[in-house]
């Protein structure tokens, strides 16, 4: 049903992440609003840069292992999830997914868009474990949300209904 990760897809994601790190410094605007005492005045470039650095490290390890031949992934490229295409189609699908999620972030909120992004990415790279895909798609965005909003005290866009559920839960966590 699902297919193994593809070297070309990961190489394309690596190149996009490096490009975003280089160009992101000019593309991310400073916040036009004054920050309250509840919100830390962290540079808005910090969070995207950390995520992109993580992507570069993980993709770099994947490519290094593939080039050395020491990874557990198959060496043959299997047909892509959509239409039996190549890694190029999956890379374009990933790029489209990232753009759609970035545009929907303020409307749908951080947790919803990150769930869709992680679920879609897992399917595109061929993760064949449904429990693992759902676990990471739900768990990792939640952990990132807690770290950014509670520990770093930086606001993330979120739907009112989700935020109403999360505020009491975050209130039970220790203060940092």
> Measured between alpha carbons, how far is 59 from 65 in angstroms, rounded to an integer?
10
> Measured between alpha carbons, how far is 121 from 2 in angstroms, rounded to an integer?
12
**pTM reported for the whole predicted model:** 0.60
The half-sphere exposure of 119 on its side-chain side, counting CA atoms within 13 A, is 14
> Measured between alpha carbons, how far is 73 from 59 in angstroms, rounded to an integer?
14
The first and second tokens of residue 167, run together, are 């505020």
140 Cβ contact list (under 8 Å, min separation 6): 114, 118
Rounded to 10°, the helix 87-108/7-27 angle is: 40
User: What pLDDT is attached to residue 83?
Assistant: 46
Lowest mean pLDDT segment, chosen from 8-12, 82-86, 119-123, 129-133: 82-86
Model confidence pLDDT, tens digit, residues 27-84: 766 665 555 555 556 666 777 787 888 888 888 888 888 787 765 555 444 444 444 5
Residue boundaries of the structural domains of the chain? 7-171
| SS3 state of residue 74 | coil
Rounded to 10°, the helix 110-125/130-146 angle is: 150
The half-sphere exposure of 104 on its side-chain side, counting CA atoms within 13 A, is 14
- Region at 83 (left for phi over 0; alpha for psi -120 to 50; beta for the rest): left
The first and second tokens of residue 122, run together, are 């897992």
């Amino acid at each position: 049903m699902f297919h193994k990760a593809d070297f070309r897809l990961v190489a394309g994601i690596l190149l996009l992440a490096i490009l975003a790190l280089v160009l992101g410094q000019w593309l991310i605007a400073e916040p036009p609003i004054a920050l309250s005492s509840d919100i830390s005045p962290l540079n808005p470039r910090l969070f995207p840069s950390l995520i992109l650095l993580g992507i570069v490290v993980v993709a770099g390890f994947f490519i290094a292992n593939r080039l050395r031949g020491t990874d557990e992934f198959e060496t043959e490229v299997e047909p892509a999830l959509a239409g039996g295409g190549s890694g190029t189609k999956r890379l374009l699908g990933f790029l489209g997914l990232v753009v759609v999620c970035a545009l929907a972030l303020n409307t749908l909120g951080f947790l919803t868009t990150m769930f869709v992004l992680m679920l879609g990415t897992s399917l595109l790279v061929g993760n064949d474990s449904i429990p693992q895909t759902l676990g990471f798609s739900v768990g990792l965005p939640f952990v990132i949300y807690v770290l950014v909003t509670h520990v770093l005290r930086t606001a993330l866009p979120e739907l009112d209904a989700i935020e109403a559920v999360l505020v009491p839960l975050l209130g039970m966590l220790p203060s940092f």
